[in-house]
Structure 1
Amino acid sequence: MGIASVRPPAVAGLFYPGDPRELDAMLEHLFARTGNGAFTVCPKAIIVPHAGYIYSGQTAAQAFARLKPWAATLSRVVILGPTHRVPLHGIALPASDGFATPFGTVEVDRGALAKVRALPGVCVYDAAHAGEHSLEVQLPFLQLVLDHFKVVPLAVGRADSQSVATVIEQLWGGPETLFVVSTDLSHFHAYREAQELDSETVRRILALEHDIDPELACGAYPLNGLMRIAEQHGMSTLLLEQCNSGDTAGDRRRVVGYCSVALFEPTRHAH
């Protein structure tokens, strides 16, 4: 049975190659540069940037490459990202049944959306998804790394951390579910100033603080929701990479900051 309504890619050919062969080659190149660091357990959540791949792809790849050992286990990915183009209060679900990229279409987990549809602050609003890149740019990474998965795309506008945490908790699931929070760090400061601002923001993320300002992380609303739930679950954090666009492909006078972080549930030891 085909997927009825598909959201077409909005930023293919802009943020990442629109040709599947070029896209595959670029991602394989990014993955090849991540080294051999592997997780001993699968993260429950990752925090990754969402700029064009030439700027932040290497930072994102540090997290995605390490998911490969769990390619067959992870079958549902909940992606939470900020809205850049449409004003939004609350959390928008898509009406679409699939999200397309040059690699093909990822099916939306309608059952998961139904579980959160009635929660406070949640609405179905396709316009919030139509041109949004913060969720889309994560999909090709996931398509290359995982065997088969459905996606739960959540566009997060102005929303308090508890509302976001409630939605995350409802979708928590088991080892089949991964959460991806899409955020960049500070925007358009000079290189050194950005390094200082971003280092402090990363310190706060690693400490699971959930009152990070949107000026310091554009995905602060979804990020703070994840931080709140991570604190409640006693999760541990691991910084994989931090840099900015001045380190990759950009002008050092006005940079955007990036980080990738993995979050793990507490290990349960048998007694």
Structure 2
Amino acid sequence: MRIRHPAVAGRFYTHSPEQLQQQLTGWLSQPESCDQPIRALIVPHAGYVFSGAVAAQAYQYLNSQADRIKKVILIGPSHRHYFRGCALPAADYFETPLGRVAIDTQSVEKLREIEDIEVSEQVHALEHSLEVQLPFLQTCLNDFTLLPLLTSNVSPAKVATLIDKLWQEDNCLLVVSSDLSHFHSYKDAQHIDSHTCNLIERYEPSLTPEQACGSTGINTLLLLAKKRGYQLTRKALINSGDTKVGDKERVVGYVSYLVSEP
């Protein structure tokens, strides 16, 4: 049994299972419902003190559809390693303080034969962009398998081709992990991030890493969502200067979206 142990518990979120569950329960204590099937989320991946509440604004809708969702495709950017294509994990489970999540090893085996796909324990070992989403998924869903995909030097069109068929299944949720602009002044960041959101809401897959560190994942979603006629709904938009612990000199932007069938 190969387990990818948590790398950022105690830094991006608490390592205490009790405190973590209490924090998540507080954010998700008033779950919202969506009349149409939820197909995807865009959520930030900073430390919970900065972006956890923003992520929860989208995650809270999953509770009402937890019985339907059995598979999660989780896409995020690789912050530590640069490589061609996408990286899948070599693990059988991803672990957090709340327990283990089973990897969709069947899909991993199918995808690993495709060009621009590598299976790497090293690339996934210390990456936070996917890990911080897991406690939310563990809290909001029941039994599900996970397909964690890290992107580096790869086009959104290529990623869309990789996941298109998998994401067509009714029981599959796509989660795209991305922050927005980084290290601008508060007012500049508001302007930049507002423009980025306008592009997202026009389904324009032209985002750059300067606009969103997970731009590849967002652009991938936009390509497929537009083709399928999915509806995007913004749930929250702030930056770190809006939080109790952030200053307004060099901020990071955070947004969450709900993507549903029309």
- Normalization by structure 1: what TM-score? 0.93
Query: How far apart, CA to CA, are the structure 2 residues paired with 1:5 and 1:263?
Result: 33
| Structure 1 match to 2:193 | 198
Q: Which residue of the other structure, out of 245, 248, 251, is the alignment partner of 1:252?
A: 248
Following superposition, the deviation at residue 170 of structure 1 comes to: 2.8
Shift of 1:36: 5.5
Find the aligned partners of 1:116 and 1:225 in 2 and give their Cα distance.
17
Counterpart pick for 1:237 among 232, 241, 245 = 232
Query: 1-side partners of 2:218 and 2:237: how far apart?
Result: 16
Q: Is the 8 A contact 1:12 1:101 kept in 2?
A: yes
> CA–CA distance in 2 between the matches of 1:229 and 1:113?
21
Contact residue 31 and residue 60 of structure 2 kept, 8 A: no
2:59 to 58, 64, 67: 64
Alignment-derived partner of residue 175 in structure 2: 180
Q: Check conservation: 1:158, 1:221, Cα contact below 8 A.
A: no
State the distance in 1 between where 2:46 and 2:232 align.
23
Identity rate, percent: 43
Secondary structure of 1:44's partner? strand
Q: Of 24, 28, 35, which aligns to 1:27?
A: 24
Amino acid in structure 2 at the alignment position of 1:24: Q
Shift of 1:197: 0.3
SS in 2 for 1:55: helix
Mapped contact 1:116–1:170 kept (Cα < 8 A): no
Task: Kindly indicate whether residue 25 of structure 2 is the aligned counterpart of residue 9 of structure 1.
Answer: no
> Which deviations, in whole Å up to 9, do the C-alpha atoms of 1:4-39 show, x marking residues without a partner?
10000000010001010010011112223xx55421
Deviates more, 1:108-117 or 1:62-71: 108-117
Deviation digits for residues 146-179 of structure 1 (CA, Å, limit 9, x no counterpart): 1111110001112111111111203114221000
Counterpart of 1:110 in structure 2: which amino acid?
Answer: T
Q: Could you report, residue by residue, the CA deviation over 1:171-196 in whole angstroms, capped at 9, with x for unpaired residues?
A: 11422100000000000000011011
Please give the alpha-carbon distance, in whole angstroms, between the structure 1 residues aligned to 2:225 and 2:83: 25
Q: Which runs of 5+ in 1 are unaligned?
A: 267-271
Alpha-carbon separation, structure 2, partners of 1:87 and 1:144 = 32
Are the counterparts in 2 of residues 188 and 255 from structure 1 also a CA contact under 8 Å?
A: yes
Q: Which of 100, 103, 106 is 2:101 aligned to? A: 106
Residue 220 of structure 1 is aligned with which of 209, 215, 230?
A: 215
Q: Which amino acid aligns with 1:258?
A: Y
- Aligned amino acid, residue 30 of structure 1: W
Does residue 18 in structure 1 map to residue 15 in structure 2?
Answer: yes
Q: Check the 8 A contact 1:168/1:226 in 2, yes or no.
A: no
